[in-house]
Amino acid sequence: MNNHIAFPGLGLDFNVSRSLFSVFGMPVYSYGLIIAWGVILGFIYAAREVKKQGISQDDFLNMFLIAVPVAIVSARLYYVIFSWDSYKDNLLEIFNIRGGGLAIYGGVIGASASVLIYCVKKRINKGTVFDILAVGLLIGQAVGRWGNFVNGEAFGAQTTLPWAMTIKQDGMLVAYLVHPTFFYESILNAMGVLALCLYKRIKVFEGEVFCAYMVWYGFTRMIIEGLRADSLYLGAFRISQLISAILLVTGLVIIIKNRKKYLTKSRF
């Protein structure tokens, strides 16, 4: 499949092939390679940080090797659960990941849960690990959103803004002058990486950076999701907006509660 993606107001025009090359007759998709690159960059960052924090490299590798496949499965399950009508009559299609259908929140939840369980079982300071995980996640998310660009997906509603995007897939128009929401999220995630790296200098408790990640990503995703044209729904509500709101509030409450406790102790 070839995508023709244009930004008429900016005079930009791209022809993007979803498949870069084949291995033993099986196409290798640009989307998968971009996601893999995001994971690798997140891994490189985390590998440097765990060394600084004195965390065993063996434990780090174990967490990584467990978290990545769990994240993929969880991302798929999340998507399938909230798109059940598309799969209920053909259950085998659930396993066709190459056909698309991964949700980032499912991946984040799965990866976080697997890392938490590992830290508890191995008695590793989970707050320290999750502070590292927060930045690594945002790095991967910032890069990974460009996979949506090559796939011609994750776009928003129509807009008159000068950077509106038009998408044709194999000559068929699928979106006309819409918000490039993939780009909004990628940029905000990249800004979030910088913000969290600065924030960790002033943190007062282990796990605070991860809480800041919950606040940053929760807020930005809640806003961007409102512009999306392909949201997953729970009844009348966009499920990603609900989860974003929960993350935002939870992160703020934990930060405020623990900072207040720290300030109270520091006075005595």
Residue 86 is predicted with a pLDDT of 83
What letter represents residue 66's amino acid? Answer: I
pLDDT at 148: 92
The reported pLDDT for the residue numbered 83 is 87
Q: Is the residue at 232 inside a domain?
A: no
Query: With pLDDT > 90 as the criterion, what percentage of the chain qualifies?
Result: 75
Give me the pLDDT at residue 266, please. 61
Question: What is the phi/psi pair of residue 160, to 5°?
Answer: -100, 5
* pLDDT surpasses 60 at 4: yes
How many angstroms separate the Cα of 35 from the Cα of each of 30, 88, 132, 149, 260? 9, 28, 19, 12, 39
pLDDT value of position 193: 98
pLDDT tens-digit series, residues 165-186: 999 998 899 999 999 999 999 9
> Residue 251: inside a domain, yes or no?
no
Q: Considering the domain boundaries, does residue 15 fall inside one? A: yes
235 part of a folded domain = no
What would the mean pLDDT of 199-216 be, rounded to a whole number?
96
Model confidence at 267, in pLDDT bands (50, 70, 90)?
Answer: low
The range of the structural domain enclosing residue 18 comes to: 2-204
Average pLDDT over residues 124-145: 96
DSSP the chain: -EEEEEEGGGTEEEEEESEEEEETTEEEEHHHHHHHHHHHHHHHHHHHHHHHTT--HHHHHHHHHHHHHHHHHHHHHHHHHTTGGGTTT-GGGGG-GGG----HHHHHHHHHHHHHHHHHHHT--HHHHHHHHHHHHHHHHHHHTHHHHHHT-S-BSB--STT-EEEEETTEEEEEEE--HHHHHHHHHHHHHHHHHHHTTS--STTHHHHHHHHHHHHHHHHHHTTBSS--EETTEEHHHHHHHHHHHHHHHHHHHHHHHHHHHHT-
- Give the count of domains, the chain: 1
The tens digit of pLDDT for each residue in 44-102 reads: 999 999 999 999 999 999 999 999 999 999 999 999 999 888 888 888 888 887 777 88
Give the largest Cα separation in the chain, rounded.
Answer: 70
**pLDDT at residue 268 is higher than 60:** no
Mean pLDDT (whole number) for 26-55: 92
Tens-place pLDDT, residues 224-249 = 999 999 888 888 889 999 999 999 99
Position 257 in a domain: no
Confirm whether 166 is domain-assigned: yes
Mean pLDDT, the chain, integer: 92
In a domain, 212, yes or no: no
In a domain, 254, yes or no: no
